[in-house]
Structure 1
Amino acid sequence: MKKVLFLITGLDYAGAEAQVVQLSRMFRGAGFVVQLISMIEPAAYLEELTAMGVGVLTLGMRKGVPDPRAVFRLRRLVRSFRPDVVHSHMVHANLLARVTRLFVRMPVLACTAHSIHEGGRIRTWLYRLTDRMCDVMTNVSQEAVNRYVTIKASPPDKIRLMPNGIDMERFCFSARARMQIRQKLGVEGRFVWLAVGRLAPEKDYQTMLGAFSEVCRSFPQTMLLIAGIGPEEAELKRYCETAGLGEQVRFLGLRTDIPELMHGADAYLMSSKWEGLPMVLLEAGASGLPIVATDAGGNREIVQHGVNGYLSTPSDPTALAGEMRKLLGLSSRRRAAMGRLSRERISRDYDIRAIARRWEVLYEQAERSRGRRGKLERRSGVPL
């Protein structure tokens, strides 16, 4: 029975964390023993992980505060669990796992980046410096993989594309359920855009709200629901009041019923400056929603312009508004067809069961490759 140890920077309601939880569920269902370690105190998914039999531990670090003692805490936990695979997610966990491997045996170490941009030159240099400590590096979009090779954060023979996956069954609802959700939200008779994500600069909600303000002039019956919290919340609410959008933009706060919100919406909207392969776009596609998004990171790998949605230039409210108007100008039948194409695409390419199996194969390949390197090292006496 395989043992997998996931190491993640933090455990909150966000895309990378949601993916780790889904992989944990898939691996547990396949008979794996799974343990999860969060560098900082976990804040989400604890009941869900406990119910599926996944142990959740923390290194007790504080956000933004480097702590060298974490290396030795992690070493102790790895020695105790004795995993077959250590799989780290996001830059801080990736670097910590690599350094810790100098002090404890890890049969296989896989490191996953979840964005096209994880920081500046120092983090890129640290990735280069520690590259030899990991067996395989992955990123969630081809665009991100290409960039990591270009900036030499990982050599081309080490980094692989491994997209996020999604549980399609969580995003199946009936027409009756949709009607009930819309009644509950109080949006009957309105065209509803939905946006989900942290209210932070990289998500660029200022551009979204600017674009929505333009669209409202010609489509006054539309409204925007925003689910999420973050440091820009107060500023964004002030903008809406000043722009006279108080009745048409609703901030829903932190929500755990995203599948229901998706099913109650008519279209999905994203304005990010950069992305990896956003889980929320996979969720929107799985929900059968047409999508308008900025052409950032792996978004174009989900949204085919003019097929299941529209792509816009990042940080350009007028351009985003233009793509929104295109979608609003379509017939309801054409928008529904776009939504069906979204769902078909996600089901074909991003089903979590297929993605989890791909991870199993990648772990096995890394294990065999490391075994071959070990034999060559012993024969030659030279580290490879």
Structure 2
Amino acid sequence: MKLCIVTHNVVKGNGQGRVNYEVVWEAIRRGYHVTLVASEVASSLQQHSQVRWICVPVKGWPTEILRNMIFSWRSANWLRQHRSEFDLVKANGAITTVPTDVNAVHFVHSSWLKFSSMGTMPKSAKNILNPRSVVYDFYQWLYTVMNARWEKSAFQQAQVVVAVSDKVGKDLLEIGVPPERLQVIVNGVDLQEFSPGVSDRQKWNLPQDVPLALFAGDIRIPRKNLDTVLHALVKVPNLHLAVAGITEGSPYLQMAASLGLNERVHFLGLCRDVPELMRAVDFLVFPSRYDPFGLVVIEAMACGLPVITAVTTGAAELVQPEAGIVLSDPNDTEALIQALSSLTSDRTLRSQMGKAARTIAEQHSWQLMAKSYVDLFEELVKSI
């Protein structure tokens, strides 16, 4: 089989890039040749005899909208000339205007647009929707609106649309993807990199001998929902919180200070050693308002951590009651207070949930996920 994958990057450093990275290696193991139409490719793949990299440069363009548009235009031009060379073409979302056989969906912009415009977010979030400027907010809205429009067209043209969670699958059905063309392949986790253990908190200047939760994600925007976590933390006085995420441009440092939480909330900035950090904390709290999957959830589970999340996070479907707590409403501060208090006060419960979480994560390795993708490719090629 000659496979073509169109994507911005094929690297281990982010969710979509990691999925493509693992799929490429599984295709290589089965003896297939893979052409990557991408801006960035992992060095381990660049020199492989079964891999050809068609570089689509987008650096230098000032905004992500422009970079995406340039990538789509350049990749489409190349694909129109070379489409006949491949048995199957896989893309991710609205990345190119050329019809593809498989489109793997990691985010449904129309669903986030609908959620964010419903007026369901609390005042604590609305007050920080404009952390950097009115222009920036308008740009984010425009980016979402344009992607929502482009995505619908891309999904309509694909033979099979793959959702990374049941939540994404439901979102896709809502925007008109026929159920017979929809499949769900859940994202995976590196079970060796993310594994149970103990790490010294002193590396991050975190307090010893106190219950410590972790929040990890983009803390420059309200979507990840750190504001509700901070307000709930006020009512759980024995709990400390480590926050991993870029602090520049974030309104949450000021919010934590205004809530009197400076002594208990520890902003760590961007962390490169997340697995080690996870082994230094007691549980994860991640009640994201909208997350198609949320790799941090399954990564924490693989590290043997109980998790608190919300139904609005795709990975919540993996969190059984014995492994964590799933909130029915990410904005329900009282419910979050109860969940935080429960895990803070009960070390035995945390241990039991952590073991169950690891067992669940072991069923979702990257290798198993990649096999599901390549199995799908083989079935499609046979049917053509």
Q: TM class, shorter-chain normalised?
A: 0.7 to 0.9
1:115 to 93, 107, 114: 107
> CA offset at residue 72 of structure 1?
4.7
Q: Residue in 2 aligned with 1:336?
A: 351
Output one character per residue of 1:226-283: Cα deviation in whole Å (capped at 9) or x when no partner. 11227751x1011112222122212222222111111111101102111212111110
Q: Residue in 2 aligned with 1:227?
A: 244
SS at match of 2:90: strand
The 1:135/1:118 distance shift into structure 2, 3 A limit, reads farther
Q: Any unmatched runs of 5+ in structure 2?
A: 115-144
TM-score by length of 2: 0.78
**Does residue 251 in structure 1 map to residue 251 in structure 2?**
no
2:312 to 296, 304, 309: 296
2:373 to 359, 366, 380: 359
> CA offset at residue 185 of structure 1?
2.6
Name the % identity: 23
TM-score by length of 1: 0.78
The 1:325/1:280 distance shift into structure 2, 3 A limit, reads same
Q: Residue in 2 aligned with 1:105?
A: none
Output aligned runs, 1:40-59, within 5 Å.
46=42, 50=46, 55=53, 57-59=55-57
Q: How far, CA to CA, are the matches of 1:158 and 1:87 in structure 2?
A: 14
> CA offset at residue 326 of structure 1?
1.4
Q: Any unmatched runs of 5+ in structure 1?
A: 102-107, 372-384
> CA offset at residue 286 of structure 1?
0.6
User: How large is the RMSD of aligned CA atoms in angstroms?
Assistant: 3.1
Q: Residue in 2 aligned with 1:192?
A: 212
CA contact (8 A) 1:59 1:70 kept: yes
Q: How far, CA to CA, are the matches of 2:163 and 2:375 in structure 1?
A: 16
CA contact (8 A) 1:5 1:35 kept: yes
SS at match of 1:167: coil
1:310 to 322, 325, 333: 325
> CA offset at residue 182 of structure 1?
2.3
Q: Residue in 2 aligned with 1:275?
A: 291
> CA offset at residue 285 of structure 1?
0.8
SS at match of 1:289: coil
CA contact (8 A) 2:214 2:284 kept: yes
SS at match of 1:276: coil
**Does residue 285 in structure 1 map to residue 301 in structure 2?**
yes
Using the TM superposition, name which of 239-248 and 109-118 deviates more: 109-118
What is the number of equivalent residue pairs in this alignment? 342
The 1:92/1:130 distance shift into structure 2, 3 A limit, reads closer
Output one character per residue of 1:164-198: Cα deviation in whole Å (capped at 9) or x when no partner. 01121112354xxx24x323233321222111111
Q: How far, CA to CA, are the matches of 1:5 and 1:129 in structure 2?
A: 18
CA contact (8 A) 1:37 1:59 kept: no
SS at match of 2:5: strand
The 1:188/1:48 distance shift into structure 2, 3 A limit, reads farther
Q: How far, CA to CA, are the matches of 1:12 and 1:236 in structure 2?
A: 29
SS at match of 2:325: strand
Q: Residue in 2 aligned with 1:137?
A: 161
Q: Residue in 2 aligned with 1:205?
A: 226
> CA offset at residue 50 of structure 1?
4.8
